[in-house]
Amino acid sequence: MLLQLIAEIADERGSAGPNVTIDGRAVPVRDWLCDALVPMAQRDARRRLTVEAVRAELDEAKALPADRNEADRVIEDKVRERVRRSGRCNVSRAVSDLCKIGLLRRHYQGFRVDHQNRGAQREAVYTVTPEALVVLRRR
């Protein structure tokens, strides 16, 4: 599924990233992939547990708005942040597997900052191999 999503947003050469334009704004490709995969997890028990945990944390910190709709929006934003953070790791692991079997190539684009997180300010670019792209785009 991940390979198909990458192929759908890739240019004619099969490259996707470092950003995808959604509603006029640039979103890192890994974030877009995480968001695209979220609907599969909507009924997942872990997601429900995450929503409950976020609600409890915000309630304990007295950070929830009094308005129910606004509170739900704040909770959803916090859940999305958590899901994205773990989703980026999951996408990276899945991409590594796809790279190992030769269906995808990955490189990074952006600025390298000299500190302990050497990948800072760099975003992934994924390129579907020509052979896989032909199969995935065949309709």
Q: Is 134 left (phi over 0), alpha (psi -120 to 50) or beta?
A: alpha
CA 128 – CA 132 distance, rounded (Å):
6
Axis crossing angle, helix 29-41 with helix 68-100, rounded to the nearest 10: 110
Tokens of 101: 């079997």
Q: What is the pTM of this model?
A: 0.75
Per residue in 13-47, pLDDT (tens digit) is 999 989 999 899 999 999 899 888 877 766 677 77
The pair of structure tokens assigned to 38 is: 């979220």
Cα angle 8, 14, 16 (rounded to 5 degrees) comes to 70
Confidence of residue 6 (pLDDT cuts 50, 70, 90): very high
Percent of the chain past pLDDT 70, that is, above it, reads: 88
